[in-house]
Structure 1
Amino acid sequence: GALYFQELSPAFLLKAKERLQPSKDIVHYSIANASYLSFEDNYFDAALHFGGINTFSEIQKCLQELVRVVKPGGKIVVGDEGIGPWLRDTEFGKIMVNSNPLIGYKIPFELIPVEARNVKVEWIMMGAFFLLEFTVGESAPVANYHVPIPSKRGGTHWSRYHGQLEGVSDETKKIAKAAAEQSAKSMAVWLEEIILSAAKKQLEE
């Protein structure tokens, strides 16, 4: 295997190189922007970034790039300052954030790529730093949305979302519920039959 070290600061990269010498592993060093990686898709088995992402101007792009270059099933770990939410308003939290504002950073959960699987978060260093870990999937999650849901409401996840029609009055809703219960059918099945029958009849006239 091989290790690849990338850093935007030449001085930081030189220091890392000095600390790793001599190394028995194959090590590659490069100066580059973490949001624009010069590697092919699915190039790495895993990727680690620590210390810096909370100052990036393109955080989402960086995370997307990490997903792009790591193979499906590979692991990505990102860490930086970011105090745990339960500590933010404590004396400890206020003192630490006052000393280093970056510790007040909030993990951008909304920017995590849709390919992320098995997402885990751990707070380290007395809760002042975080580690965000996930494995790489091949796309956004896809479920079987068409399995009938046994209930009075009935339907499937798909039909409940894509089959919505316009709203009706409260009185009509009550009558429809009562009729569906009397028929011993789920509301979804009852509505499907009633609406389909009425629509066909209307179109035939």
Structure 2
Amino acid sequence: MTTEGAIDLGRNLRDSLTAGADLIDKVSEDASVQEYAKLQEQLNSILINNMSNLGWVHKYYHMLYSDKIDAFHTTRWEKHALIYSNSKSVQENELYTMSGQLMKIVKQTGLPSSYVMNSMCELFGYPKKYFRIGTGDNGDSYWQDMGDNSYIGIGWPKLGNLNLYFESKDVKNDIAVDLIKYYEYGKSAVCQHSCRIF
């Protein structure tokens, strides 16, 4: 890149960031989550180089507008905080929409956002990975039985007790072979299913 090109890019980045700041400045103190979703759309269109998805940009806006933008600068942390606050993200993977949801929680406390965010970190810990496991088939639910008897069912009843597979040195391959044998999966589907077990 030429010096002139770098200067032009720097100016464009600056202008984009200030335009985004102007949009956030216009967000009302009691803005709804839908207004934050609209803000997200506007920032997606006005911020160049995918900056609406960058943590450092979100952090910059939080420093300027701590009463409007939360202090979690990744969607992973925002989603984690929402889950632990008993809320579902309206738009996953959208930093500013989830900011609106978190700031609604902050406003309910009447405390500064930094206090609430620090408390969330302390109370909720680091983000967790979640996996959904089905709890029924053919309309029957096994949720209660699973809870009462401390087990999880993953389907594929023809495989039988999975503990028997762990006696083998090539567990993953043995399960893959039996998935093909009993369920007629193709090799790519078998890789997806058996990889999820491990």
Q: What TM-score bracket applies, with the shorter chain setting the length?
A: 0.3 to 0.5
TM-score for the superposition, normalised by structure 2: 0.32
Higher helix share: 2
Q: TM-score, normalised by structure 1?
A: 0.31
Decide which structure has greater strand share.
Answer: 1
Larger Rg over CA atoms: 1
